[in-house]
Amino acid sequence: MIEICNLTRKFGSFEAVSNLSLTVLPGELFCFLGPNGAGKTTTIKILTGLLRPTSGTTRICGLDMQIDPIAVKKLIGYIPDMPFLYERLTATEFFQFTADLYEVPQNKVPLLCDESFRLFGLLDCRNVLIKELSHGMRQRLIYASTFLHNPQVLFIDEPLVGLDPYSIRLIKDLLMEKARAGMTIFLTTHILAVAEDIADRIGIISKGKLIAMGTLKELLALNNECKNLEDIFLHLTENDN
């Protein structure tokens, strides 16, 4: 579903991502971990078309973002760590706007809106301007609108930033449910407990290079002296700090 082949991205002489290759399978929830500045966000930005690779290729559902960007964008969803929302729209209007963008049939939008807003606890603020919503509510709204077109591949950069425990539980359950239903999810996080809880596979990147990848069990087996993911992460990336 996501194929990254020899991906390199340079900023001047600095190599943010270096010869990265990995594959994420359909319906897999893949957690991409790494210290600050390791290249996680750069990788996600390349996969979502925000950045272009210096070399190497990325394919989403068999399509190359550089060759057919519109087709790829219709298949993916992206939630950045600090998402942009149109502050002068109401929650419903933003939802409607997203539906229009992804050509969701008009007659289905009200029902989808109801269901989605109920699920994310947004019903009470459906007609409130986004600028008046709290950070948590904005995050919920961006999730609701991202799931609207039922993307086959979802990219999330720091999915739980600024959310309360209820919202965290909601998002974690939802992501696992979506993955079970066949959605491929590629997320980055610094909260290692989240990765332990929900990831099917984990990749660790350091200084632009993939230094470990596998299920939690596989990673633990490879690092005998480590008891949990935190130990593995700190052990593998200690040279960074």
Partner 1 sequence: MAAFSSLIKKNRYQLINLHRIIKAQSSFKIVFTLCFALFFEVGLFWLFLDGFNFLHRMGGVGLIIISKLFDIFFLGMGFMLIVSSIVSSYSTIYRSDEIPFLLTRPFSISQIVLYKFFESTGLSSWAFFFIIIPFICAYGYHENMSAAFVVWNFLFSIPFLITCSGIGTVITIIIVRWIPLGRYLRIPGIGIAVIAAWFLIHELLKYRSITTESDLNLSMLLPGFTLASNPLLPSYWISEGIMLLTGGQWLNGVMFGIMITSTSMVICISIEWVGQKIFHEGWQRLTNGSSINERAPVMLWWLQNILLVFPSDIRAIVMKDIRTFFRDPVQWSQALIFFGLLALYFSNLRTFRYHTFPENWRNTIAFLNVFSVSAVICSLGARFIYPQLSLEGQGFWILGLSPARMSRILLTKFFLALSCMLLVSTSLMFLSARMLNAAPIVVVVAILLVCSISAVVCGLSTGLGAIYLDISQKNPAAIVSGFGGTLNLVLSLCFMLVAIIPFGMIFHLNLLHRMNNHQMYNSLIIAGLWLVVLTVLSIITPLYLGLKTLLRREY
Residues 187 and 78: their CA atoms lie apart, in Å, by 10
- Nearer Cβ to partner 1, position 88 or 118? 88
- Nearer Cβ to partner 1, position 142 or 194? 142
Residue 122, CA distances (Å) to 89, 90, 171 in order: 15, 11, 14
Site for partner 1 (CB under 8 A): which residue of 3, 8, 19, 49? 49
- Nearer Cβ to partner 1, position 103 or 225? 103
Site for partner 1 (CB under 8 A): which residue of 8, 19, 27, 51? 51
Residues 218 and 194: their CA atoms lie apart, in Å, by 17
Looking at residue 18, its amino acid is S
Torsion (CA) 183, 186, 192, 193 in degrees, nearest 10: -10
Q: Which of residues 119-148 bind partner 1 (CB under 8 A)?
A: 129
**Site map for partner 1, 5-44, x if CB under 8 A?**
------xx-x------------------------------
Return residues touching partner 1 (CB under 8 A): 11-12, 14, 48-52, 69-70, 73-74, 76, 78, 80, 83-84, 86, 88-90, 93, 96-97, 100-103, 129
